[in-house]
Amino acid sequence: MTVRVLFFASLAEAAGTEAVEVAEPGAATVASLYERLAERFPGLKPLGAACLCAVNREFARADSPVRDGDEVAFFPPVSGG
C-alpha cells in the first residue's frame, strides 16, 4: 500500500522535505510508519508530545491504523494565532 506523508514546520526542516510517498509492505499504524520514516530521515524527533500526527486531516494517535491511500501528516504542537 502507498501513503502520502506530509511534514510541517520544524518536522519538515528535520526531514529535509515537506512530502513523501511511502510504500508499506503490510498493515501499518502511525507508529510503525513513523519508525520507518525515522530510519530514512534521522533528524526526526520521537513521536509523542513534540511530534503530533493526523490521518486524513484528523488528529490521530500512535496506534491509529494507516490504510492504502491515506494522507498522514506529522507536525509539532501548533502555534497559530
Report the residue number, 21 or 39, with the smaller CB distance to other proteins: 21
Upper half-sphere CA count for residue 31 (Cβ side, 13 Å): 5
Report the residue number, 28 or 72, with the smaller CB distance to other proteins: 72
CB 4 within 8 A of CB 24: no
Judged by CB under 8 A, the number of residues near other proteins is 18
What is the footprint of other proteins within residues 35-54 (CB under 8 A)?
50, 54
Please state, in angstroms and rounded to a whole number, the distance separating the CA atoms of residues 37 and 79: 24
> Residues in the site for other proteins, rule: CB under 8 A?
6, 8-10, 13, 50, 54, 57-59, 73, 75-81
